[in-house]
Chain A
Amino acid sequence: MRSVIDIVDLTTEELDELIKTAVDIINNPNKYSEICRGKKLATLFFEPSTRTRMSFEAAMYELGGHVISMTDAGSSSAAKGESVADTAKTVSCYTDIIAMRHPKEGAAYVAAKAASIPVINAGDGGHCHPTQTLADLLTIYREKGGFDNLTVGLCGDLKFGRTVHSLINALSRYNGIKYVLISPEELKLPSYVKADSIKSKNIPYTQTTDLESAMPELDILYMTRVQRERFFNEEDYLRLKDSYILTPDKLKNAKADLSIMHPLPRVNEISAAIDDDPRACYFKQVLNGKYMRMALIIKLLKEAGTI
């Protein structure tokens, strides 16, 4: 059974196909409004989420399907010690596709191995969050008209930021990409991500701690939150959390067509004063995420022969 655990599970052709479907959904929503009629999506969320869960649920409703949710692991059999595999097998009996978020890395892989229906990883700890990357890709596609020849600045927590790792993997498949990696020393991009997705493809990149000096050359600025839940040491978190705060002043040397992105939720990395700037794209990402999840649900249900 085909599942999507990591963005690497999707080929470049499949990414392009999903974007094409999403754009068609945007232009012709009625064409898709009954495509999942009578089908059920299970949203299994073992850790809190607003955007991702609601996005999956809205996606399924807009495709004419139904949703069964588990939003509080404390009130489910997981609290009694049921394994992820058993939960996935059980939910496979009730529904047609699963979207799952779990705090442990690799949980979605375990679920996908056990389930008899497609599983979409909606985030497994700090490991993967492929549908956020799909949202990011559609946003870049709609803002820039494609992916080639972009200078992409990634700023903040590049060490634990799973969305950054996946986005780099996806964008590195296109031509003429250049990265500017902006982070404190302690939160630099891990060397294996650099080796696998940047150096092996001879993609040019620079590393800096200075956001403002990097700003003028950027086509995309992808801000990230320093995530408290990824630190074992509260002191380290407190020391690093305010490393980068984007304010209107810092944008004075930015390109007029810069796209400012953020996977959200933000804490204070982007000042609210920037929200009205036409270059702010983070709420567009939220909307685009729903369209790409619709496209992915359609793709996986079609491949499973369910629709």
Chain B
Amino acid sequence: MNIDSIQNGVVIDHIKAGYGMNLYELLKLGELDVSVALIKNVQSKKMGKKDIIKIDADIELNLDIIGYVDPGATVNIIKDSVLTEKLSIDMPETLVNVIKCKNPRCITSCEQELDQIFKLSDKKNGEYRCIYCEAKAK
């Protein structure tokens, strides 16, 4: 399968296979009026299979979202068809308005104007907890 290389934009590479769609949705890439390619299950020597997202526009991405979904992903910035920058990704300490608390007893379930804030509670297991009710992010 061939996908055109991009001239100016962003490539999110080395996404764990199966995580690309979640990242696509959380980054709200479907709302962009530019060419975006989500390629699933690409053969990879290192990973076996991986997902790749290519965005044909010079946009700023919320790296916290990428770090939350897959801290192993890499972000490559392309300018004039040349790789100009590789951004390092880490699990963010705090996630603000990225995911919603699913606990129906949480105060955020009835006070919609509150920011949805999660803190990294266990880096080893990539576990985040709601700062209000301490429920684990699902």
Which residues of B (103-138) have their CB < 8 Å from a CB of A?
A: 103-111, 113-114, 130-136
User: Are A104 and B105 also in contact (CB < 8 A) when A84-B111, A110-B111, A110-B114 are?
Assistant: yes
- In the bound assembly, the distance between CA atoms of A52 and B120 in angstroms comes to 33
A-B interface contact total, Cβ < 8 Å: 48
A107–B103 Cα distance when bound, in Å, is 13
Verify B107–A105 contact, CB threshold 8 A: yes
- Asked, given contacts A84-B107, A102-B107, A104-B106, whether A109 binds B132 with beta carbons under 8 Å apart, the answer is yes
A110 touches B132 (CB 8 A): yes
Q: Can you offer 7 A-B residue contacts whose CB atoms are under 8 A?
A: A83-B113, A84-B107, A104-B133, A105-B105, A105-B106, A106-B107, A106-B108
Q: 9 closest Cβ contacts across the A-B interface? A: A106-B132, A105-B133, A104-B107, A106-B107, A106-B133, A107-B107, A125-B105, A105-B105, A105-B106
Which residues does A use to contact B, with CB under 8 Å? Answer: 83-85, 102-107, 109-110, 124-127, 192, 232
The reply to whether B106 and A109 contact each other, CB–CB distance below 8 Å, is no
Nearest chain A CB to B106 CB, angstrom units: 5
- Do B111 and A83 touch across chains, with their CB atoms under 8 A apart? yes
Chain B residues within 8 Å of A106, by CB? 106-108, 130-134
B110 / chain A contacts, CB cutoff of 8 Å: 104
Cβ contacts under 8 Å, B111 to chain A: 83-85, 104, 110
- Given A109-B132, A110-B132, does the pair A104, B109 have CB atoms closer than 8 Å? yes
Contact size class for B? 10 to 19
Task: Name the distance in Å between A88's Cβ and chain B's nearest Cβ.
Answer: 12
Contacts of A109 in B (CB 8 A): 107, 131-132
Residues of B within 8 A of A124 (CB): 107
Known pairs A105-B107, A107-B107. 15 more at Cβ < 8 A?
A83-B111, A84-B107, A104-B105, A105-B103, A105-B106, A105-B134, A106-B130, A106-B131, A106-B132, A109-B131, A110-B114, A110-B132, A125-B133, A192-B136, A232-B104
Nearest B residue to A104 via CB reads B107
CB distance from A154 to the nearest CB of B (A): 20
How far, in whole Å, are A103 and B103 apart by their CA atoms in the complex?
13
> Please, how many angstroms separate the alpha-carbon atoms of A283 and B56 in the complex?
69
Q: Which residues of A contact B109 (CB under 8 A)?
A: 104
Task: For the complex formed, measure the closest distance between the CB of B69 and the CB atoms of chain A, giving whole angstroms.
Answer: 22
CB proximity of B60 to chain A, nearest CB, Å: 29
Smallest Cβ-Cβ distance to A128: which chain B residue: B134
Tell me the complex Cα distance, A127–B103, Å. Answer: 11
| Measured CA separation A232–B131 after assembly (Å) | 23
A192 CA to B104 CA in the complex, in Å? 19
Whether B132 and A105, one on each chain, are in contact in the complex, defined by CB atoms closer than 8 angstroms, is yes
